[in-house]
Structures are given as C-alpha cells and as structure tokens.
Amino acid sequence: MKAVVVPPGGGRFIAVGSAGTGVTVKASDAETGGLCTVWEGEVPPGAVGAGPHYHHGRDEFFYLLEGELVLRIGDEHHTAGPGTFAFIPRETVHGFHNASAERARLLVMHHPAGFERFFEEMQQLVARQGSKEERAALTVRFDMFPVPA
C-alpha cells in the first residue's frame, strides 16, 4: 500500500443521480488495501443525500466542507455546518438532507472499504432505468438497510 494524495477537485467522479449529481471517490479499496473508501459529495438545496438507513458491518465518518446539512443519527437530528464531524458506528440509523437554500459539500469515509462499488453499480442502474426492486437488492448487497423516515 502506498500513500495517497488527491489534489483539490481530484478523484474519480461517479454520476449516480439526476442532473449530473454524484460522488467523487478520493480513495478506494484499491488504494487503501481494504481499509476504507473516501468520497466527496454535493447535496443540492432541498435534496436528500441519503435517506435513513443502517449498516451491519460498516462504520461511517462525515465531515461537512461547506453549506449546511441536517444529520439524522439514531433518533436525533443535528444541524451541521462547515467543520462539523460525525462518526456513525455500524447498526446506527443515520441519513442526511439539505434543508437550506444553498448547496452543501461533505467528505465521507466508509470503513471497511468497498462502498465505491455501490456507486458504480447504482450508476449503471440509473443509466438503464433499473427498477425499484433492483435498487433495493443493490442496497442490501452493499450492507445498506433502509428504515422509514
């Protein structure tokens, strides 16, 4: 394993939503030897970044770069501004949305690595207009279990 340095704006962009939204993978399974996946995402005003869900075998770390997001962690809701950090241990319900009028950007780390493959496969599903059932199966395959809002 070698050190990884990604310049501002660098990384591998994966379009996963409508209107060109997506994530920029900064470090993946290949670069970190399976330790983690790190990605940067943008959440437009009024948009849901991730609906409430949990993971059985994956921890997440969030760092808000700009804008404001509402983080759901368990039964609590936190309004997060730039510089806010959150650690979400496995089995904890979490999600985030942008309730503001400005875009938000965040850096997310998944431990262990491999979550970049979820984005790659979601990109393919979106491109071919895959069914809700296919999307549900994909989320379960990547240890992502949605819960009611």
Express each pLDDT in 89-100 by its tens digit: 999 999 999 999
Question: Do 62 and 47 contact (CB within 8 A), yes or no?
Answer: no
List the 76-80 sheet strands across, edge first: 76-80, 69-73, 94-97, 48-54, 145-146
Give the residue extent of every domain in the chain: 12-144
For the chain, the average pLDDT equals 94
- Per-residue confidence (pLDDT) for residue 53, from 0 to 100: 97
51 — pLDDT class (breaks 50, 70, 90): very high
Q: How far apart are CA 73 and CA 57, in angstroms?
A: 17
CATH number of 12-144: 2.60.120.10
The pLDDT of residue 79 is above 80: yes
Residue 63: HSE in the Cβ half-sphere, 13 Å Cα cutoff: 8
Query: What is the model's pTM?
Result: 0.92
- Per-residue confidence (pLDDT) for residue 17, from 0 to 100: 73
